[in-house]
Each structure stands twice: as structure tokens, then as C-alpha cells.
Amino acid sequence: MLIRKVVVASAAALALTGMSIGLADVAMATGVTSASSAAVQSYSCSRTYYSGTALTESGDTGNRVIEVQCQLYHRGFLSSGQVDGIFGSITYNAVLRFQKEYNSICHGGLSVDGAVGTYTWAALRSACPS
């Protein structure tokens, strides 16, 4: 359990720099000698993780969520450390803020529901500044 907490904390800290770290590295740093050598994934918003429009909402995980988070990061609604591939309350609230601001500034007709459907995907990828 301690190793898992250290790995999660280390991965979150290193996500800001775009680096990845192996469990063995964490184990060595914490003095634990037996750990798997599987690498912990970090996410960089310098590439596209998903280009579709499938409904992406609270509780989802994976590439669709990473893409939503990267789009929100590029628009200033999330920090780079919040791009974790998990659509939790932070992402949900960021989507709500984006939908409200987009409707206000871009005269959009987005549903302000915290879910990323076809129209919110289009808005996230649009040129209208927010």
C-alpha cells in the first residue's frame, strides 16, 4: 500500500515535467527492494489521444478522458498535473466551466451538463477562444 501511494505521488509530480518513472526507481528511492519494473504512465498534451466524438462523462477513464483533459488544459481550465485520464470531479467541474464560458463568449448552444458529447467535443476543438 505504501509503495502504491509513493508511486501515485511520484507519477503526479513527474507528470508536470513529462517524465515517466518505473516502480523499481520508486522502490530504490524509498528503500524498498522488491517491486515490479513496470513503468508508470505520464501524459503529455503535445499529442492527440483521441479524435472521435463519443460521449465522455464522469467515471470514464482512458484516452478519451486524456484528450478532454488536454483540451481543457490548453484552454486554461486544468493544470498539467490534473491530466490523469480519470474523469472525476475536477474534470467534471472544468467541463462545466468550459461549457458556460463557451456559451457566453462564442454564443454557443452547449448543454451545460458536465458531459462531453458531440457538440462539446466540437467546441473544445474549435478556434473560438475562451
Q: What is the pTM of this model?
A: 0.68
Q: Are 7 and 23 in contact (CB under 8 A)?
A: yes
Query: What pLDDT is stored for residue 108 in this prediction?
Result: 84
DSSP type of residue 64: H
Q: pLDDT tens across 86-113, in order?
A: 999 999 999 999 999 999 999 889 999 9
Q: Which long-range contacts (CB under 8 A, 24 or more apart) does 59-67 make?
A: 59/87, 60/87, 61/85, 61/86, 61/87, 64/116, 65/91
Tell me how far apart the alpha carbons of residues 85 and 108 are, in angstroms, rounded to a whole number: 27
Query: How many Cβ atoms sit within 10 Å of the Cβ of residue 63?
Result: 15
Query: What pLDDT is stored for residue 7 in this prediction?
Result: 35
Instruction: Name residues of the chain where pLDDT drops below 70.
Output: 1-42, 129-130
